[in-house]
Amino acid sequence: MHLSSRAKLLIGLAIVVVLAAYVYQALGPSVWSKVTPQIPQIFIDTLLLGNLYFLIAVGITMTFTVAKFANFAHGDVATVGAYAAYLLYNFAVLSGAPNGFAVQVGLVGVVSGIILTLAYLKTKNSTLMVLGPALLVMGAVVLFACYTGANLWEATIEAMLASAVVSLLSHVLVYKPLSNRGASLVQLMVASIGVALFIRYALYEMTWYSRQYFKQEITYQNFGVQLSNFQAWIINGTLVIANTTASFASEYIPAIKIGAGGIAFTKLNALDVMFKFPQPVLSFTDLYIWSTLTVLAVIIGMTLLFKKTKIGKAWRAVANNPVLAAACGIDVDSVVNLAWLVAGALAGIGGLFWAIQTQIYPELGWMILLNAFAVAVLGGLGSFWGTFAASYILAFAEQFGVSVLAAINPQYTGYRFMIPFSVFLLVLYLKPEGLAGIKTRKA
Partner 1 sequence: MVDKTGLILGIIVAGIIAAFAAVNVSYTLDLIFFLAFYAIAALSLNLEYGYAGLSNFGKVGFIAVGAYTAGVLSAAYGVPFPLCLIAAAIAAAAVGAFIAIPTVKLREDYLGMSTIIIGEMIRILLRNTPTNSVWGGVFGLRGIKPPFDFITNTFERTIAYVGLSVVLFFFTYILLERWGNSPLGRVLKSIRDDELASKSIGKFTYRYKLLALTLGSALAGLAGALYAFYFLYLNPDTFLPLVTFLIWVMVIIGGMANNAGVVLGTAIVILINRLTQIAKDYIHLPLEPNYFQAMLVGLLIILFLMFRPQGLVPEKPVRTPAWRVLEERAPKEIDYLKEGEGGEENE
Partner 2 sequence: MTDKVIETKDLVAGYGKMVILHGIDFYVTRQEIVTIVGPNGSGKSTLLKAILGIARVLKGKVYYEGKDITNERLDKISKMGVGYVPQTNNVFTNLTVKENLEMGAYTIKDKKEVERRMEEVLDIFPDLRGRLKQLAGSLSGGERQMLAMARALMAKPKVMLLDEPTAALSPKYVDLVLNKIKEIRDSGVTIILVEQNARKGLEIADRGYVLVTGKVAYTGPAREILEHPEIGKLYLGLK
Q: Residues interacting with partner 2, by CB under 8 A?
A: 182, 310, 313-314, 316-317, 319-321, 323-332
Query: Which has the closest alpha carbon to 164: 38, 351, 424, 6?
Result: 351
Query: What percent of the residues of the chain are helix, what percent strand, and what percent coil, each to the nearest 5?
Result: 75, 10, 15
Distance CA 114, CA 278 (A): 59
Helix (H) or strand (E) holding 283: strand 282-285
Choice between 28 and 182, CB closer to partner 2: 182
Distance CA 336, CA 316 (A): 10
Handedness of CA 182, 199, 76, 364 (dihedral sign): positive
Question: Taking CB within 5 to 8 Å according to partner kind, which of partner 1, partner 2, none is near residue 180?
Answer: partner 1
Query: Which has the closest alpha carbon to 21: 9, 13, 10?
Result: 13
**Mask: binding to partner 1, 357-386, rule CB under 8 A, as x and -?**
---------x---x--xx-xx---x-----
Question: Taking CB within 5 to 8 Å according to partner kind, which of partner 2, partner 1, none is near residue 191?
Answer: partner 1
Which residues face 360 on adjacent strands?
Answer: 221
The CB-of-125 to partner 1 minimum distance in angstroms stands at 9
The CB-of-317 to partner 2 minimum distance in angstroms stands at 5
Choice between 351 and 386, CB closer to partner 2: 386
Distance CA 432, CA 175 (A): 26
Choice between 247 and 371, CB closer to partner 1: 371
Question: Taking CB within 5 to 8 Å according to partner kind, which of partner 1, partner 2, none is near residue 316?
Answer: partner 2
Residues 85-124 that bind partner 1 (CB under 8 A): none
Distance CA 315, CA 334 (A): 10
The CB-of-325 to partner 2 minimum distance in angstroms stands at 7
Choice between 274 and 328, CB closer to partner 2: 328
Alpha helices for 236-309 (secondary structure H) = 270-275, 286-308
Distance CA 81, CA 78 (A): 5
Choice between 148 and 309, CB closer to partner 2: 309
Strands ordered across the beta sheet of 229-235: 262-269, 252-259, 238-243, 229-235, 282-285
DSSP-based three-state secondary structure for 321: coil
The CB-of-236 to partner 1 minimum distance in angstroms stands at 45
Half-sphere exposure of 177 (CA within 13 A, CB side): 6
The CB-of-319 to partner 1 minimum distance in angstroms stands at 16
Of the residues 418, 437, 438, 439, which one makes contact with partner 1 according to CB under 8 A: 418
Residue 174 in contact with partner 1, rule: CB under 8 A: yes
Distance CA 83, CA 99 (A): 17
Residues 175-204 that bind partner 1 (CB under 8 A): 177-178, 180-181, 183-187, 189-191, 193-202, 204
Choice between 114 and 332, CB closer to partner 2: 332
Residues 398-417 that bind partner 1 (CB under 8 A): 414-415, 417
- DSSP result, 333-358: HHHHHHHHHHHHHHHHHHHHHHHHHS
Question: Taking CB within 5 to 8 Å according to partner kind, which of partner 2, partner 1, none is near residue 442?
Answer: none
**Residues forming the site for partner 1 (CB under 8 A):** 64, 69-70, 72, 174, 177-178, 180-181, 183-187, 189-191, 193-202, 204-205, 208-209, 212-213, 366, 370, 373-374, 376-377, 381, 414-415, 417-418, 421, 424-425, 428-429, 432
